[in-house]
Amino acid sequence: MKNWFEILLKNKYALVLFALLGVHITNMFIDVMEVDAAQYASISMEMFQSKSYLQVFQHGQDYLDKPPLLFWLNCISFSIFGISNFSYKFFAVVSLFLGLFGTYKFARLYYSKETARYAALILGSAQAYFLMTNDVRTDGLLTAWVIVAVWLLSNFLQRQKLKYLILGALATALALMAKGPIAFIGIGIALGADILLKKQWKNIFRWEWVLLAVVIGIALLPMCYGLYTQFDLHPGKIVYDLHGPSGLRFFFWTQSFGRITGEIYWNNHAPATFFLQTILWDYQPWVFLLFAAIGYYAINFFRNRFRSSILPEFTSIATFALLFLMLSMSNYKLPHYIFVIFPFASILVAHFLQSISTRNVARFAVFQMVIIHLFFILLGINFIFFFSPSNFSLPLFCVLMLCSIWLFYRKLDGVPQLIFPTLLMAIAFNLVLSLNFYPNILKYQSTSAAGQWLREQEIPSNQVMVFNATGFALDFYSGKAPATLDQEKINELPSGVLVYTDEGGAKDLMNRSPRFQVLKEFPSYHVTNLKVNFLLQSTRPSTLNKALILKYQ
């Protein structure tokens, strides 16, 4: 038995990484969630079916919001694997795995191998990273390709090899096509801050930057051509209340900077401290260590009067701080917008743990153990009050919980005593979310449940309509976006047509015509807006609405 434990401890990095990847892969099979992920899945499916790869449409209407990289990758995946949860998430998850690799490789340029390992594991176990492989949006691609580009271009500056510059340019282009100019800003801050603060003036005026711009420009040509032909050649279009928008201007300016200047009307009135609040969950279980690390670096900067630093590179601290401040200035904020800084945050935390004394590490380890116990208590609450275990999630949870506590009290010292019990807790927590929590709450996402039922019944898409209801998951799972029913044309409907609607819509239709009959009912709840009354088994029925499929006889 002792030899067996020694083998496990010797291979702890590989085993934990394998377990993390296993949870992320499990997330690929969970249904897509309304609204954003389901919308992107629906657009990707529409692009795949229409083969309109350069011009993007949603329900046949012009779409002008996110760049097309996610849609293009999904079309490739759909052609290989077919249309499914797995295929929608495949390339996004592959990109996030590359993001972990890029984080490790970038950290390895400046730090020890152990620090680089810790940085990758911390990033891969943050709640945001699990969310990005479950609720797939454009932010996962942005996060991954920004850190990959920063690694490659930093490698170019160190080794002076053009292959790293060209690969870095391609990674930059992919980041831009993932979510727009915010990618270029992040990469520019990362490289520029390090060059300026280290006073490496010759790196500012390198001729190779011209080559970088040329490669990026060539890579962006297909997207730019599509935007130009869809919008700039048609100045009479009205999209998102923008009259005659230039697709190129929207991509390179309005979509990102217009939220700061007020040029675009999107404004959810989120306070300046919004991301400071959301990071408390999104960067768990490492967020308090991140705050400690930031305080530690700030104190050292002031002590040294900014002339030197305990950090061997300024990329991480500058990108984290400046991007955080810039994103906080936006008029429109959502929690996932900040995820792009988390690779750099993870490097800061990893180096911080390696820099402080063994005694302080032990103190933080005790604090982390309190956090670990709180997360395990949350899982216990889930099993008792929310969703009873119906598969092997409970025994896996118990094994990982016991291993986490055992490692803390018995087998590890120093930084590993803090890192590995926390990693096991993160794996256990998110494994339960993947196997138990999310599958259960998504039973109440009526758009996906109805879409899957329609596909199982092999009902042709031209026999399905929607009335007084919306939901992109219905499009994705049924196989095609249903037409909208015009209530003035009810009497013109052919017999056998199915209508997806809510309770109010069903009552209205059945009052208008006795030929409508209830064919199927689905419990309905907005699962991205979770409240305690819904989570509790005892009060859940009172929170549910109904979605219905009516048949026109």
Nearest alpha carbon to residue 137 among 435, 340, 441, 346: 340
In this structure, which long-range contacts are made by residues 410-416, counting pairs with CB atoms below 8 Å and at least 24 apart in sequence? 411/5, 411/9, 412/9, 414/358, 414/361, 415/114, 415/118, 415/353, 415/354, 415/361, 416/12
Question: Given this model, what pLDDT does residue 453 score?
Answer: 92
Secondary structure E strands in 102-196: none
Q: Where are the domains of the chain?
A: 31-267, 358-443, 445-552
172 in Cβ contact with 184 (< 8 Å): yes
Question: Given this model, what pLDDT does residue 307 score?
Answer: 61
Q: Is 82 left (phi over 0), alpha (psi -120 to 50) or beta?
A: left
Nearest alpha carbon to residue 100 among 13, 215, 173, 164: 13
CA angle 214, 339, 120 (to 5 degrees): 90
DSSP 83: S
d(CA 477, CA 449): 8
* Residue 170: C-alpha distances to residues 14, 75, 184 (Å): 29, 20, 12
Helix 342-355 vs helix 85-110: crossing angle, to nearest 10: 40
Continuous segment of H or E residues that includes residue 483 = strand 483-484
Which residue do the tokens 């993001």 mark? 99
Q: What is the mean pLDDT of each run of 10 residues along the chain (553 residues)?
A: 65 86 94 92 95 91 90 96 95 96 96 95 95 92 96 93 95 94 91 87 90 95 93 81 79 71 60 86 94 90 69 88 86 83 96 89 86 87 87 75 73 81 90 91 93 88 85 89 83 86 89 87 90 93 92 84
- pTM here is 0.91
Nearest alpha carbon to residue 387 among 444, 349, 343: 444
Q: How many CB atoms lie within 10 A of CB 386?
A: 20
Report CA Rg, the chain.
25
Question: Given this model, what pLDDT does residue 264 score?
Answer: 59
DSSP 338: G
DSSP bridge partners of 58: 61
Amino acid identity at 157: L
Q: What is the CATH architecture assignment of 445-552?
A: 3-Layer(aba) Sandwich (3.40)
DSSP 24: H
Amino acid identity at 171: A
SS3 238: strand
Q: How many CB atoms lie within 10 A of CB 58?
A: 18
